[in-house]
């Protein structure tokens, strides 16, 4: 069954952040992008460009009274890639190494717009435990 919806949460350097439920996030797993080129004799040749993974148009919930905003700024300033985890609406989990690209913090919404970008491809994590899966497991055991 196909399930659409926003990303549930992201993790940056082992710190979890909730994603706004109305965010229309764009995910690129990273892959080879083919481009077709026509030759003078009518034949076609293909070139391939390796694309990095990315997650864009995120709106992440921020507790400004805590250190979340400063944590993200410190990671962005460090110029070093960190572990990133993405949990989709259907509990599918992807992991990669990348960096946050920070946008503006909205004081009215208590969110920050950001993107995650990284080299290589995202890897799907099989059997990851998300809060929703953990709750489902508890409900199965205890009814």
Residue 79: per-residue pLDDT: 87
Is 14 within a domain? yes
Q: Are 124 and 94 in contact (CB under 8 A)?
A: yes
The total of structural domains in the chain comes to: 1
Is 1 within a domain? no
Q: 106 pairs with which residues across the strands?
A: 111
Look at residue 70 and tell me whether its pLDDT is greater than 90. Answer: yes
Look at residue 69 and tell me whether its pLDDT is greater than 80. Answer: yes
Is 72 within a domain? yes
Q: What is the CATH number of the domain that holds 19?
A: 2.40.30
Is 2 within a domain? no
Residue 140: per-residue pLDDT: 59
In terms of residue numbers, what domain contains 41? 9-142
Look at residue 127 and tell me whether its pLDDT is greater than 60. Answer: yes
Is 4 within a domain? no
Residue 22: per-residue pLDDT: 86
Q: How far apart are CA 103 and CA 131, in angstroms?
A: 27
Residue 26: per-residue pLDDT: 93
Per-residue pLDDT tens digits for 22-48? 888 999 999 888 999 999 999 999 999
Residue 105: per-residue pLDDT: 95
Look at residue 1 and tell me whether its pLDDT is greater than 80. Answer: no
Q: How many CB atoms lie within 10 A of CB 5?
A: 13
Q: 54 vs 2, which has greater pLDDT? A: 54
pLDDT band at 126 (very low <50, low <70, confident <90, very high): confident
Q: How far apart are CA 8 and CA 30, in angstroms?
A: 20
């Amino acid at each position: 069954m196909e399930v659409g919806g926003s990303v549930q949460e992201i993790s940056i350097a082992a710190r979890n952040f909730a994603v706004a439920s109305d965010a229309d996030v764009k995910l690129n797993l990273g892959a080879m992008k083919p481009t077709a080129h026509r030759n003078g004799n009518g034949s076609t040749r293909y070139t391939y460009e390796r694309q990095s993974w990315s997650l864009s148009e995120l709106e992440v919930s921020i507790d400004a009274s805590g250190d979340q905003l400063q944590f993200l700024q410190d990671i962005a300033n460090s110029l070093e890639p960190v572990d990133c985890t993405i949990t989709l609406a259907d509990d599918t989990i992807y992991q990669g190494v990348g960096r946050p690209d920070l946008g503006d913090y909205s004081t009215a919404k208590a969110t920050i717009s950001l993107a995650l970008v990284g080299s290589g491809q995202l890897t799907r994590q099989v059997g990851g435990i998300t809060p929703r899966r953990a709750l489902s497991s508890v409900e199965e055991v205890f009814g």
